[in-house]
Structure formats: C-alpha cells, structure tokens
A and B are shown apart, each in its own frame.
Chain A
Amino acid sequence: AQSVTQLGSHVSVSEGALVLLRCNYSSSVPPYLFWYVQYPNQGLQLLLKYTTGATLVKGINGFEAEFKKSETSFHLTKPSAHMSDAAEYFCAVSWKGGNKLVFGAGTILRVKS
C-alpha cells in the first residue's frame, strides 16, 4: 500500500531563510509525487509534481523538490522564504495506472518577520 509521511506538523522559518519541508513515501510501484499548498479555507493548489524524467523538479513560487529513490524522499525546498509562503503544505503520492492520490498529514509553514 502507498503511504506518505511528512516529518514535522509545524515548521517555522524567518523571512529570507531556507524552507525545507520533508516528505517520505512508501510505494510498491514507481510513484508519482506531488506537493500541494493550501491557504486557509481554500482548496489545494499544485506546487509541483514528479512523474518521470529529471528528478529535480521546479514548481511555482520558487519552490523545488528532488525525487530521491534510494531515500524514498521528495523534500520540498525554497531558498528564501517570503511571508506569503505561510500556508499548509501537503505531499501526495500516486502511481502509474492508478488515479488516486494519497496525502500526507500536512505541514504548516510559519514565516516570521
């Protein structure tokens, strides 16, 4: 069965500092991996995804993530946090031939001025 673990339910960084949100997955088949952002009382917005090809994926708003098969990880990073990045972030996994998404528990990012 596929599952997603996000380490740290809350992460706090200073404005301008590096953002690192961790995601590990378990999947019995090659995964497709996603990061979504959710602002309060809103739906999910796709930040980036990995399906095939280059393992370093760049997304919107300066975010990127790297698929590391040996570590079963897909950590999300941004070099310099902005106040507008404060939100909840969800890592999710799907797989070839499947159309379901399995979500992690989410990480709330707080950006301090």
Chain B
Amino acid sequence: GAVVSQHPSRVICKSGTSVKIECRSLDFQATTMFWYRQFPKQSLMLMATSNEGSKATYEQGVEKDKFLINHASLTLSTLTVTSAHPEDSSFYICSASASSGGAYNEQFFGPGTRLTVL
C-alpha cells in the first residue's frame, strides 16, 4: 500500500522558536496533502489542504501566518509552526492522496509528529 512518512516523529522546542515538520509520500505522487492537528483525547481536526505547486487552503480559525505550509513537490509537504507557544503543543498528522480520476481519492496517513513547546 501507499506509504507516507513524517519527520521528525517527536520534537521538543522552546517557546518562540519555529519548527518544521516534513511529510513525504514514499511510493506515490501526492497531488494533495492534508495537515491535521490532534489534541490529547480529541479527534483529528483538519488544518489545511495543499495541492502541489499552489497555496494551501486553510480551515476556518487556522492562522496561515503561524502555520506555514509548503507543497513544493509531488512527494513532499512541510508544515512550519512559527513562533511556537505551549498551546501549539499537539500531535500533527499529515495525509496524502493522489488524483485517480475517480470520485474519491483515498488519503494515506503519516505516523504523526508529537510537538511539545516548553
């Protein structure tokens, strides 16, 4: 099956610093990548959708200047949390899908990145 990786799996940073998380599709070309955030004991909330070569579409309430998303190639998307604060501590999960021409393009999920901001 399709494999999606994330790096790093875990990161601890100081308040005010920026953190970059990578999401890679290892064996397919991902035309669309999604970024989710999951707080403890809660469900996944979609943050943004990005298509290769274009600007990301952010969900309501997600600050685009704080969560910078780049999808520069068909196998890589990055999420940069700028000026991180403790309230940004969360589990960040990406997913990737390839355009199949069908009615639905399945999303394949990465293993997640645990961000802790001190």
Contacts and interface: CB of A to CB of B under 8 A. Distances in A.
Interface stretch (B11-19, B63-71, B73-81, B104-112): B104-112
Nearest to B105: A99
Interface stretch (A19-27, A61-69, A79-87, A103-111): A103-111
Q: Which of B4, B34, B95, B104 has the largest number of chain A CB atoms within 10 A?
A: B104
Interface string A92-109: 001011011111111000
Interface residues of A, number: 23
A51 B111 contact: no
A43 B112 contact: yes
B18 to A, nearest CB: 23
Interface residues of B, number: 24
B49 interface: yes
Contacts of A102: 46
Contacts of B91: 41
A105 B106 CA distance: 20
Contacts of A41: 91, 112, 114
A100 B114 contact: no
Given A32-B104, A101-B46, A102-B46, 13 more contacts: A41-B112, A42-B111, A42-B112, A43-B112, A44-B44, A45-B109, A96-B103, A96-B104, A99-B105, A99-B107, A101-B95, A101-B107, A103-B44
The 5 closest A-B pairs by CB, nearest first: A43-B109, A44-B109, A43-B111, A96-B103, A103-B43
Interface of B: 4, 6, 32, 34, 42-46, 49, 91, 93, 95, 97, 103-107, 109-112, 114
Interface of A: 32, 36, 41-46, 49, 51-52, 90, 94, 96-97, 99-106
